[in-house]
Amino acid sequence: MIRVIATALGLLAFYSAAEAHELRPGFLEIKQTGVETYDIRFKVPARGDMRLGLYVRLPADCEDTTPARTERAGAAVLEHRAVRCPEGLADREVSIDGLSGTFTDVVVRVESEDGAIQATRLTPDSPFFTVARAPTWVDTARTYFFLGVEHILLGIDHLLFVLALLLLVRDVWMLVKVITAFTVAHSITLALAALGWAQVPQAPVEAVIALSIMFVAAEIVRQTGPETDFTKRAPWLVAFAFGLLHGLGFGGALKEIGLPQSDVPLALLTFNLGVEAGQLLFVFVVIGLSSLLRRVLPLDRNWLRTALGYSIGSLAAVWFVQRVALFV
């Protein structure tokens, strides 16, 4: 049984490591500067020196008015150009060529001449959108909420940390305090990192996040014995401390996606709400599956908790080594 769990988690680690870079979304910003003119900035995810093959397709009558400029922007390439579209872009289609052949999303922000904002998300299954004549704030809220949900559900390391916390907690009231502490903590640092007020290199943060999972996994294994200590008495403090760290990871991801400058509070709030919604969904699914397994499989709980603790800790150790190797 332990081998089965460890193998499954190992395959999960391999998949998440292989797809991690491509899951970073691109960011397309279209700003209207005149009746028929637009400023276009497109941030394309990159692997090393190679950018993904994503290209903006505008209506056929649009033409560049300035030469395209390209520069490196962290783990992405930023392309900037000005265009003129004789009929404007309102009620017309814009698409991303090459998106359907990736696992990447592209977040789009369109700002009209009067300051109205349209925000949407393009996916491989839907790589195009229609520029709205009269966009509303609901577009931005919906887009960043679902980005938050997607980020937490695809963030295998964050989910494993939450799972480890669930294994560490034995009663419902303490579980409420642990989830609340983790939520409050990562909400604080998410905002600080996304707004650029906490400048921390992302690679070391991701490595220490893996280390935090190893710590909690070790506590799971150790506390199946008779001893009692501070971690067992106050796991909410552990959740709060490491939640600050995980928030830096969330914030770094949101900063890479890009925040619409005129809608920063709304985008930040709805992204965080999406993260919380995804996290609660995961917690409810784990609790439901745990209840079902207890009825179907009469396994020794301490034995199973120990097996999961070792498996989670081993997987986190692999991640830690991989992530340290990226910047050492």
pLDDT score recorded for residue 264? 79
> Which residues are 43's β-sheet partners?
27, 78
pLDDT attached to residue 202: 80
What local confidence, expressed as pLDDT, does residue 58 receive? 95
Q: What is the pLDDT of residue 5?
A: 42
CA 221 to centroid of chain Cα atoms: 29
The single-letter code of the amino acid at 230 is F
Q: What is the pLDDT of residue 120?
A: 86
Contact call for residues 246 and 161 (beta carbons, < 8 A)? yes
pLDDT value, residue 13: 46
What are φ and ψ of residue 111, in 5° steps? -115, 120
- d(C-alpha 56, C-alpha 219), whole Å: 49
Per-residue confidence of the chain (328 residues) as pLDDT tens digits? Answer: 344 344 444 444 444 443 433 446 888 999 999 999 999 999 998 877 788 899 999 999 999 999 889 998 777 889 999 999 998 999 999 999 999 988 888 988 888 887 777 888 899 999 999 998 877 778 778 888 988 888 888 888 889 999 998 888 877 888 888 888 998 999 999 888 888 788 788 888 889 999 999 998 988 888 755 545 666 677 888 889 999 988 888 887 777 666 766 677 888 889 899 999 999 999 999 888 888 877 887 767 778 888 888 999 999 999 999 889 877 7
Cβ neighbours of residue 264 under 8 Å, at least 6 residues apart?
195
Q: What is the pLDDT of residue 9?
A: 46
DSSP helix/strand/coil, 298: coil
What pLDDT was estimated at residue 261? 63
Contact between 26 and 52 under an 8 Å Cβ cutoff? The reply is yes
Residue 225: predicted pLDDT: 52
pTM: 0.73
Cβ atoms of 76 and 53 within 8 Å: the answer is no
- What pLDDT was estimated at residue 84? 96
Which H/E stretch holds residue 202? helix 202-222
- What is the chain's length? 328
Give the pLDDT of residue 91: 93
